[in-house]
Structure 1
Amino acid sequence: MRSQDLDSQEVVYELFSFIFWTLTAISFIKYVLIVLKADDNREGGTFALYSLLCRNAKVGLLPCDRNANQVMLFEDTATPPSKINSHSRARRAIEKHKFCHYLILFLALFGSCMTIGAAVLTPALSVLSASYGVQRSLSELSHLFTSSQHTRDSVSNALQKYVPVPAACVILIGLFVLQPCGTHKIGFMFAPIIAVWLLFIGAVGVYNIIFWDVEILYKISPLYLFKFMRNLDVSRWRLLGSAILCAAGSEAMFAGLGHFSKKSIKITFICLIYPLLVICYAGQAAFISKNLQTNNFNHLSQSVPSHSKHIFIVVSLLSSAVGSQATITACFSIINQCLALNCFPRVKVIHTSKTIHGQVYIPDVNWLLMIFSLAVTIGFRDMVKIGNATSLAIISGMLVTTSLMSLVIALYWEKNLLISACFLLCFGVIEVAYLSACMLQFHRGAWYLVVLLIVSMTVMLSWHYGTVKKYEFDLQNKVSTEWLIDVSPGLGISRVAGIGFIYTDIVTGIPAFFSHFITNLPAFHQVLIMVSFKSMPVPHVPESERYLIGRIGPRDYKIYRCIVRYGYCDNIRDTNDFEEKIIRAIGEFISIEHVTDIESMVSPDERMIIVGNSSDGNALVPLMNETSNQVSIMNEAQVSPIAMDDNDHTVLASSSKSCKKRKKVRFMLPPASSVPKMDESVKKELLELIDARESGSAYFLGQSHLVVRGGSNYLKIFLIMVFRFFERNGREPPVALKIPHAALVEVGMICSI
């Protein structure tokens, strides 16, 4: 806030009362005591709340949620059936109206965009604020060594021009360069700094309370809240836009829950952060109330005793970077969740911890955040304007969390609707009041947040829209399994040695791109495996429940379907042994199929069996890794490009004629002593699977290119254009799947929407 806005002691006392009760009500009561209990298996943020709602009410609009009941025979272990009341009036009302589904998804995306905006603005604000403190201290030092007023003014102007912004930029670059180290290493480096900073500002707060105004502690009385409201006008109401910054880290604390344990966050906040922040704000309010005539009196550096200012300079510079860390890690967590639920373009995600799955680092996002933060710092060069935009981002994210949390209380916790309504009203009214105050500062920098919102929301909505349309096209153009079994023999199809992995988004039927491929090139592999990735609205899926295996057609065809279920924090695609895990899961399926109801395996519903990667060796025993040739099975004639007529849009996008050296796990049957009663038909099929594995593997990947039909509205055209841009420039699916290029066959199709 500006110095001229605080014109009396009473205004200072009233604002301090607002700060205390805001910190208590929002940060302490709402987030620490209530919202942190709504974690999704130790994951937080708006998308974690959204995933809870998707699992406990049918509100999912994401393409990965469809057709789940047809093939997914599993129970959600996170929510016992006894806890869900299917006859809940609130659940029935929300599930019935499609508008509610779109509104909840929009809230989740909007909250995610606010977290991204805070990750851009908070580092710029905190670092620039510390840099201005350095500039003021250097100006005071220059006054001690210069006697001429003209020289003092010249030095002050030079310091103000050349110190704050360049210093802030250097610190920002250093902060984002450190992000690849991971949360654990950064926390290990920064924890002592933040501890020293908190103790230091707490000590300064105690000093200011004792030296300037001991009675400031009595000003926390709610009476001052009513005094503020009684004399309310536009200029006084605008001051609340800055007061909300006291709770700036609350939303980031919840969104970054995956990086830390819930217990450690609660203990640290209750025992250290909360009391020290209250003391610090009380001390600063005591100083301001007695120094209204001082220039820049509302900056923390002005209230620091003169003999401690040099310590303050060093610690504030270091802590300014540390204070921004929470929002950056929260941004990584939110985008990782959006990626898994198909609401963000494909980017590389690096898991920086083997024990804490929520600790992730996203390089592309990290450098984009750095660029936007530098642009904000250089473009505005004003803490007040950046603070206004930050306040709007923080309060908007809080309001979204309050709205989704009220639904979680009613639908997931199964509490009375009155309790849910009380939560929404109590905290919603407070946050709406702060939101209105922040909107009064829209022309003073808050507009930049809207720019960030438009950019990030456009990216998320366009990617979600394009993903949904591609999925719907694949679903509408798939062919039945009977086509492959009954019609394909008439095409004269030949079987070649090896395993063919067909990656597809659909979980029933045969993907259209593969049917086009074998229609024009009548050959496929000795063993076919239809692989589908199924994103679940949970953080993690246990290894024992990850693979759903089924058989397509008769046993002699050796065509299998493998659905890989994963949570939004699982990292299954970037593992080098992913193919080996699928082979082992199919081996387990073959070994247990003969004792299971076979009719259910070949029914039209294509029901599946949950198969885990057991280590007891009942089906296939892996041998030591050895280097061998990984060959695309089809010969040169079979993988040559295909010329198509105008009626068939299939295009062979890429192929390979070369061999590639890579490490491959070999398999063998378990010893007869461990499995003495293995059926001969099972043994034969397992041996055929091993032989196909030894012959090599080929990978078929469909590439659907969206094309907008003539006469479509401009909004659809724009969304598809954005989607295609990020699809071309994002991370390629073969890279994300660790598919060797020597064995990759991409088949392109034109999708008209």
Structure 2
Amino acid sequence: MSSDAQNKKALAGLTLAALGVVYGDIGTSPLYTLKECFGGHLGIDPTEENVLGILSLVLWALILVVSVKYIAFVLRADNKGEGGILTLMALARRHVPARVGWPLLLLGLMGGGFFYGEVVITPAISVLSAVEGLEVVTPAFKPYVLPLAIVVLTALFLIQRHGTASVGRLFGPVMMVWFASLAALGVHGILQNPGVLAALNPYWGVHFMAEHATLGFLALGSVVLAITGAEALYADMGHFGRRPIRLAWFFYVLPALTLNYFGQGALMLADPEAVKSPFFHLAPDWALLPLVVLATLATVIASQAVISGVFSLTRQAVQLGLLPRMSILHTSDMEIGQIYIPMVNWALLASVIVVIAGFQSSSALAGAYGIAVTGTMVITAILSATVALRNWNWPAYVVAPVLAGFLAIDLPFFSANVLKIWHGGWLPVVIGILMFALMTTWRRGRELLLERINEQAIPLEGFVESLEAYPPTRVEGTSVFLTSTTKGVPHALLHNLKHNRVLHERVVLMTMRTIDEPYVPEAERVKVTRMSPSFWRVEAFYGFKETPDVHDVITDCATQGLEFELMETSFFLSRETLISTTRPGMARWREKLFVWMSKNALRATDFFQIPTNRVVELGAQIEL
């Protein structure tokens, strides 16, 4: 097979896979978007003008937000091929002064917090809206909708620890069938009333907004449901690349979504009663049950995509020092991106079940959905414009109108959703604020802890010189002292000398560093410096999408002249006992929160994969 043929085959495979992972969320939006636009809470009657107006708003939201903003613009902002809100934040802060970098950091953390809020609602509303199709089959199924949705989601979370490699192979083909079904149902509806195609003209959207100023503004809170999941295009760029994502959107996803929305609109014009569930009413009676099964599969895939996304985001946050260390398990030997985080998985499952039990229906959940999505959209617009200005060196007279154009769309969507805050919109806001508080507290707490450690630190160079000149009792072997900073003598080293009064014949000070790049080339992974005849410094560098491993660091050290015999090596770690005080630094409640988070963080031994039988922990008390 020629290289061109192989490249085309690989591109086709990536495009098919992107259908399953990237477009799961936005691809299941037709289940509930028009249903909510014409729901009783807004009071919009399915007249010809209203249907054409809403359809036009939905279509042009897909074109302007997804096609123009995300596909054409935001996908350009990659960090060595990786995307996502934290990646965008790191890029935006790279070439700005500190006074500008801090607000950009806060924006990125707010976007991350909003994503966590969205992830709790996405599986709940998606699966629930699919299973509610059973009520269209027969009202007798209504009592079983909630229990069945909970069973489906519980099963999904239970299989996470086994990884998604085997199931993932089905994602693309299933979603291909799903989008083909969306298109077929849409064509069937349009053929009954071809006049609905007039909504392709943006005039109808503008006319609707002009005629129904207040109502039109409120309707944007439901129209935005059509573009939920747009952020996934950027977050998953590292898995598939720009081209497969763009090809899948323009040649398959966008046409299928457009046809389906227009088919639903045509049905509502023919039968106003169909507004109760226009998606499922599009299907003939014989196809209803298979469609419910297919919709459930599609929503499970959409849920899997956001669950995998939150695992990835959490790992990035841990590596960037925004969240405490936690257990991160790799579920695939082939794909580094396939990970499982038990704590996040079970917290998500509990949250989703509580949300389903509390809201009871997809219509009630629609009130909560949207504010987190639109909040992230606004933040993405600001951060990506900063990247264009500072990283790409676009002139300000180009960036300013681009940003203004994006915000002219994003801010009305966000404002319309803010009005839903008393109808469930408070839920993602509360989750977002909670995650924002945790991330900012952990980051500031770590900075404060390093400040306190450095205050008490003894200069390292003079200390090493004195030990070489007047050595204590030496014992055979190598001691490795893990330290978070290269300044000063590690606490564990001081305590070892104080209590044991001995020093190994070779001492290594090892520091693990995370940089704001996704991956670090192997050749640049480890830097070894000999400080004296018996003291060495080792700095290991990892990207925010990588997991540190002491075994790998030791192997890399050997290539630079520092060889280890593991059975003759002891690893010394300082286990700090943190005490909240009235000293300036953080509010007392934040200090206490930081202390609690520290106590519950994964031990460094497990996180850095250090052999437990070679570890010595020495306590240190630090007042914050």
Instruction: Establish whether TM, by shorter chain, passes 0.5.
Output: yes
In 2 relative to 1, CA 452–199 (structure 1 residues): closer, same or farther, beyond 3 Å? same
Match of 1:3?
Answer: 39
The correspondence of residues 344-743 of structure 1 with structure 2, limited to 5 A, is 344-488=323-467, 493-553=472-532, 555=533, 558-573=534-549, 577-578=551-552, 580-587=554-561, 693=565, 696-710=568-582, 716-743=587-614
RMSD: 2.1
Letter in structure 1 aligned against 2:442: W
Contact kept in structure 2, 1:253 and 1:326, CA below 8 Å: no
Structure number having the greater helix percentage = 2
In 2: Cα distance, 1:399 partner to 1:184 partner: 34
Match of 1:133?
Answer: 133
1:483 deviates by 3.3
In 2: Cα distance, 1:345 partner to 1:695 partner: 30
In 1: Cα distance, 2:162 partner to 2:76 partner: 29
In 2 relative to 1, CA 181–24 (structure 1 residues): closer, same or farther, beyond 3 Å? farther
Letter in structure 2 aligned against 1:581: T
Letter in structure 2 aligned against 1:743: R
Structure 1 residue runs of 5 or longer lacking an equivalent are 58-90, 140-154, 589-688
Q: Which has the larger displacement, 449-458 or 476-485?
A: 476-485
Letter in structure 2 aligned against 1:104: L
Q: Which has the larger displacement, 529-538 or 312-321?
A: 312-321
In 2 relative to 1, CA 542–569 (structure 1 residues): closer, same or farther, beyond 3 Å? same
Say yes or no: does 1:280 pair with 2:152: no
Cα distance per residue 1:30-80 (max 9 Å; x no partner): 1112211212122211111122234x32xxxxxxxxxxxxxxxxxxxxxxx
In 2 relative to 1, CA 224–506 (structure 1 residues): closer, same or farther, beyond 3 Å? same
SS in 2 for 1:204: helix
In 2: Cα distance, 1:259 partner to 1:726 partner: 31
Match of 1:190?
Answer: 171
SS in 1 for 2:138: helix
In 1: Cα distance, 2:420 partner to 2:545 partner: 38
1:734 deviates by 0.8
Match of 1:300 among 255, 258, 279: 279
The correspondence of residues 79-90 of structure 1 with structure 2, limited to 5 A, is none
Contact kept in structure 2, 1:477 and 1:512, CA below 8 Å: no
Say yes or no: does 1:29 pair with 2:5: no
SS in 2 for 1:525: strand
In 1: Cα distance, 2:478 partner to 2:62 partner: 60
In 2 relative to 1, CA 28–393 (structure 1 residues): closer, same or farther, beyond 3 Å? same
Q: Which has the larger displacement, 473-482 or 419-428?
A: 473-482
Say yes or no: does 1:170 pair with 2:170: no
Aligned residues: 585
Cα distance per residue 1:163-207 (max 9 Å; x no partner): 111111011112222333435433212222211111111100000
1:220 deviates by 2.0
Match of 2:220?
Answer: 240
Match of 2:184?
Answer: 203
SS in 2 for 1:282: helix
In 2: Cα distance, 1:468 partner to 1:711 partner: 15
In 2 relative to 1, CA 184–402 (structure 1 residues): closer, same or farther, beyond 3 Å? farther
Q: Which has the larger displacement, 698-707 or 227-236?
A: 227-236
1:435 deviates by 0.6
Say yes or no: does 1:52 pair with 2:91: yes
Cα distance per residue 1:433-459 (max 9 Å; x no partner): 001111111111111112211222222
In 2: Cα distance, 1:423 partner to 1:267 partner: 24
In 2: Cα distance, 1:727 partner to 1:40 partner: 30
Higher relative contact order (CA 8 A, sep 6+): 2
1:718 deviates by 1.6
Cα distance per residue 1:455-476 (max 9 Å; x no partner): 2222212211221112222233
Give aligned-pair identity as a percent.
26
In 2 relative to 1, CA 483–517 (structure 1 residues): closer, same or farther, beyond 3 Å? farther
Match of 1:224?
Answer: 204
Letter in structure 2 aligned against 1:572: P
The correspondence of residues 323-334 of structure 1 with structure 2, limited to 5 A, is 323-334=302-313
In 1: Cα distance, 2:68 partner to 2:343 partner: 36
In 2: Cα distance, 1:163 partner to 1:480 partner: 68
In 2: Cα distance, 1:393 partner to 1:22 partner: 17
State TM-score, norm by structure 2. 0.89
Cα distance per residue 1:685-714 (max 9 Å; x no partner): xxxx67xx376111111122322223769x
In 2: Cα distance, 1:43 partner to 1:312 partner: 35
Match of 1:744 among 601, 612, 615: 615
Cα distance per residue 1:110-148 (max 9 Å; x no partner): 111122122111110011101111122122xxxxxxxxx
In 2: Cα distance, 1:694 partner to 1:538 partner: 30
Bigger-Rg structure (1/2): 1
Contact kept in structure 2, 1:256 and 1:333, CA below 8 Å: no
In 1: Cα distance, 2:442 partner to 2:355 partner: 26
In 2 relative to 1, CA 492–540 (structure 1 residues): closer, same or farther, beyond 3 Å? closer
SS in 2 for 1:163: helix
Letter in structure 2 aligned against 1:23: L
1:565 deviates by 0.6
Cα distance per residue 1:277-318 (max 9 Å; x no partner): 1111111111112322x1643441122222321221221121
Contact kept in structure 2, 1:548 and 1:563, CA below 8 Å: yes
Cα distance per residue 1:500-532 (max 9 Å; x no partner): 000001123322442243134321111101000
SS in 2 for 1:51: helix
In 1: Cα distance, 2:234 partner to 2:162 partner: 22
SS in 1 for 2:82: coil
Structure 2 residue runs of 5 or longer lacking an equivalent are 1-35
Contact kept in structure 1, 2:481 and 2:492, CA below 8 Å: no
Contact kept in structure 2, 1:16 and 1:219, CA below 8 Å: yes
Letter in structure 2 aligned against 1:373: V
In 1: Cα distance, 2:247 partner to 2:530 partner: 52
The correspondence of residues 7-22 of structure 1 with structure 2, limited to 5 A, is 7=45, 8-22=47-61
SS in 2 for 1:571: coil
In 2: Cα distance, 1:717 partner to 1:510 partner: 29
In 2: Cα distance, 1:388 partner to 1:217 partner: 29
In 2: Cα distance, 1:739 partner to 1:422 partner: 52
SS in 2 for 1:507: coil
In 2 relative to 1, CA 374–327 (structure 1 residues): closer, same or farther, beyond 3 Å? same
In 2: Cα distance, 1:269 partner to 1:482 partner: 58
Contact kept in structure 2, 1:36 and 1:262, CA below 8 Å: yes
State TM-score, norm by structure 1. 0.74
Contact kept in structure 1, 2:371 and 2:425, CA below 8 Å: yes
1:489 deviates by 6.5
1:251 deviates by 0.4
